Amino acid sequence: MIRKPAVAGQFYPYEPKQLREQIAGFIKKTIKKEDALGVICPHAGYMFSGPVAGAVYSRINIPDKAVILCPNHTGRGAPFSIVTEGSWATPLGEVKIASEIGKKILKNSKELEEDASAHVSEHSIEVQLPFLQYLNPEISFVPICFAGGDYSSYEDIAAAISNTIKNADEKILMVASSDMSHYESQDVASQKDREAIDAILELDEKLLLKRIGDFNISMCGYVPVTVMLIACKKLGAKTAELVKYQTSGDVIGGYSEVVGYAGMIVK
Segment 7-17, tens digit of pLDDT:
999 999 999 99
DSSP, res 89:
E
DSSP string, 127-139: TTHHHHHHH-TT-
Residue 65 to residues 78, 91, 133, 168: CA-CA distances in angstroms?
24, 20, 11, 10
Give yes or no for residue 148 having a pLDDT over 90: no
Q: What percent of the chain has pLDDT over 90?
A: 99
Q: What is the pLDDT of residue 246?
A: 98
CA distance 30 to 9: 29
Q: Among 121, 110, 97, 141, which Cα is nearest to 4's?
A: 121
pLDDT-derived band at 86 (thresholds 50, 70, 90) equals: very high
**Cα gap 200→116, rounded to integer Å:** 30
Class for domain 2-266, per CATH?
Answer: alpha beta
65-88 burial string, b = 16+ CB within 10 Å, else e?
A: bbbbbbbbbbebbbbbbbbbeebb
Mean pLDDT of 160-175: 98
Percentage of the chain with pLDDT > 70? 100
Q: Which residues lie below 8 Å from residue 118, measured CB to CB, with a gap of 6+?
A: 72, 74, 76, 77, 78, 81, 145, 147
User: Whole-angstrom Cα distance, residue 75 to residue 91?
Assistant: 26
pLDDT, one tens digit per residue, over 205-240 is: 999 999 999 999 999 999 999 999 999 999 999 999
**What average pLDDT score do residues 240-259 get?**
97
**Mean of the per-residue pLDDT values for the chain?**
98
Strand ranges inside the chain, DSSP E: 2-3, 38-41, 65-71, 80-82, 87-90, 93-96, 113-114, 140-146, 172-177, 182-184, 240-247, 258-266
Measured distance between the N- and C-terminal CA atoms of the chain, rounded to whole angstroms: 34
Rg of the Cα atoms in the chain: 17
Report pLDDT digits (tens) over 113-128. Answer: 999 999 999 999 999 9
Query: Is 0.85 surpassed by the pTM of this model?
Result: yes
Query: What's the burial of 175, exposed, middle or buried (CB within 10 Å: 0-12/13-18/19+)?
Result: buried
What span, in angstroms and rounded, lies between the C-alpha atoms of 182 and 96?
Answer: 32
Confidence of residue 178 (pLDDT cuts 50, 70, 90): very high
**Could you tell me the pLDDT band of residue 85, with boundaries at 50, 70 and 90?**
very high
pLDDT at 228: 98
Would you say residue 1 has pLDDT above 90? no
pLDDT category, 152, cuts 50, 70, 90?
very high
- List the chain domain ranges: 2-266
